[in-house]
Amino acid sequence: MNLYDFKDQISSRIIDRGYDYWLEGRVMIESEHESTYRFIAEGSERYGVSVTLTGIDIDDSSCDCPYTKGHCKHEVAA
């Protein structure tokens, strides 16, 4: 998965909700170390999001929200 095709691999509902979060400014970068970026996402609570990149490839992403069916809206927003 990469920065250009992740939308093809995540449900459109999650993409739309993540995009709304991004537009509303609900995700802020907390830190960056080498190729790992940590974000805070403001939802019903504050959630931590981590994304690791190699160039345009998304090597890993995670969120500590309770969503368990794949990538969440917070990851998409980040």
User: Quick one: pLDDT at residue 1?
Assistant: 86
Higher pLDDT, 1 or 53: 53
Please report whether residue 18 resides in a domain.
Answer: yes
Q: Considering only the C-alpha atoms of the chain, give the largest distance between any 2 of them, rounded to a whole number of Å.
A: 32
**Cβ-defined contacts of 46-54 (< 8 Å, 24+):** 47/74, 49/74, 49/75, 49/77, 49/78, 51/75, 51/78, 53/3
> pLDDT at residue 23 above 90?
yes
Q: Does residue 26 fall inside a structural domain?
A: yes
Domains identified in the chain, total number:
1
Closest CA to 65 of 3, 13, 24, 14: 14
In a domain? residue 1: no
Predicted local confidence at residue 29, as pLDDT: 96
Cite the DSSP H helix spans in the chain.
Answer: 12-23, 73-77
Give the structural domain span for 37.
Answer: 6-77
